[in-house]
Amino acid sequence: MSPTKSPLKSSCLLPAILLFSGCAAPRTAVDPTRLAAGATAQHTIPGTDVSYLMVYVPGGEAILGTPAGAPRQADEPEPTTVELSAFWMGKYEVTFDEYAVFRLPRLDSDTTATGLPYDVDAVVRPSPPYEDPSAGMSQSGFPATGMTQWGALQYARWVSEKTGVFHRLPTEAEWEYACRMGGDRDLDEAAWHWDNSGERFHPVGEKAADALGFHDLLGNVAEWTMDEYREDYAAVLAEQPKDPWVQPTALHPRTVRGGAFDDPVDSLRCGARTESTLSWKRRDPQIPRSFWWNTDSPFLGFRLVRPVRQPTGEEAAEFWALVLGD
């Protein structure tokens, strides 16, 4: 993440994107009453043979936070009840193949699902990294890694433009809600961690799925969320009992969830939180440092969310302005 902090404008985005109250009427992408938890939908990036699967997570009441007596860090709240809207989330972490279509213009095309004008050459794409951001580990079928949260959000915007369906990163609350809905796991069976990974990440989906159908929510690579990091996350849940989200006020720090292949097994918990740090760029020689890449976080990737209730075009434009600083 860039070391330069800059204020980002606030707006009606929390209700517009997550709550859909108090702003323009939303568009509903699907009828959630017809879907069961864990239903899947496949999407193909227009103009390619690259596809991805998403899992349906129904809205409702959720208890977030770490129970008493369980392993916990100081920034993990005690169990707190909130309410979350329905959403779809990537069954797998975004792969090298998916991110490559965005990263490399030669793999992209002017094809969109909506038929709207789309200029491949006009797309803002990642600059060449100073060195391989995956430390030589990523290839076809593996997670895409090493990008900043800003780079992950730019990918989400590009996917939204290509498919005509709004995508973004999950909020912390959505990520933890989906993780807890997945139930208890045998972490040797379900996750790559320090004791079983061979000190590298692995192709997505090699480990067992959780009860909801997600792979690698815990372990393999850690995952960006959409929230600015706040140590007092308990206060966030108390302040926002409906669709909690810490909107950005600066480019750093942000919150990461899930743990990675190089973490001890007891760090792979649904409630565990990680604060992004500028040390993830310590070897970046550029001034200013890259907005797109971290030189020192090959353990970090992301997955996408597609809200069931889609924003209007105006709301989506406001959202991207808020989170990307446009």
- Kindly report, residue by residue over 121-131, the tens digit of the pLDDT: 999 999 999 88
- Is residue 33 very low, low, confident or very high in pLDDT (cuts 50, 70, 90)? low
pLDDT at 115 over 60: yes
Residue 78 falls inside a structural domain: yes
pLDDT at 13 over 70: no
pLDDT at 102 over 70: yes
Helix (H, G, I), strand (E, B) or coil at 257: strand
> Tokens 């990675």 label which residue?
260
Mean pLDDT of the residues in the chain: 90
Is the Cβ–Cβ distance between 306 and 167 less than 8 Å? yes
Cα-based distances in Å from 302 to 88, 94, 231, 260:
14, 6, 21, 12
Question: Lowest-pLDDT range, 156-165, 217-226, 283-292, 293-302?
Answer: 283-292
pLDDT at 159 over 70: yes
Q: How many domains are there within the chain?
A: 1
Angle between helices 149-163 and 96-103 (to 10 degrees): 80
Q: How many CB atoms lie within 10 A of CB 225?
A: 28
Q: pLDDT value at position 286?
A: 81
Overall average pLDDT of the 147-170 stretch: 97
- Kindly report, residue by residue over 176-229, the tens digit of the pLDDT: 999 999 999 999 999 999 999 999 999 999 999 999 999 999 999 999 999 999
CATH code, domain with 116: 3.90.1580.10
Q: pLDDT value at position 19?
A: 37
Q: pLDDT value at position 326?
A: 74
Residue 4 falls inside a structural domain: no
Residue 98 falls inside a structural domain: yes
Overall average pLDDT of the 154-165 stretch: 97
Q: Domain span at residue 101?
A: 13-324
- Residue 81 CB partners (closer than 8 Å, separation 6+): 61, 62, 63, 241
Residue 230 falls inside a structural domain: yes
Residue 2 falls inside a structural domain: no
Residue 233 falls inside a structural domain: yes
Overall average pLDDT of the 218-244 stretch: 98
pLDDT at 94 over 70: yes
Residue 3 falls inside a structural domain: no
- Residue 250 CB partners (closer than 8 Å, separation 6+): 5, 6, 7, 8, 228
- Is residue 18 very low, low, confident or very high in pLDDT (cuts 50, 70, 90)? very low
Residue 1 falls inside a structural domain: no
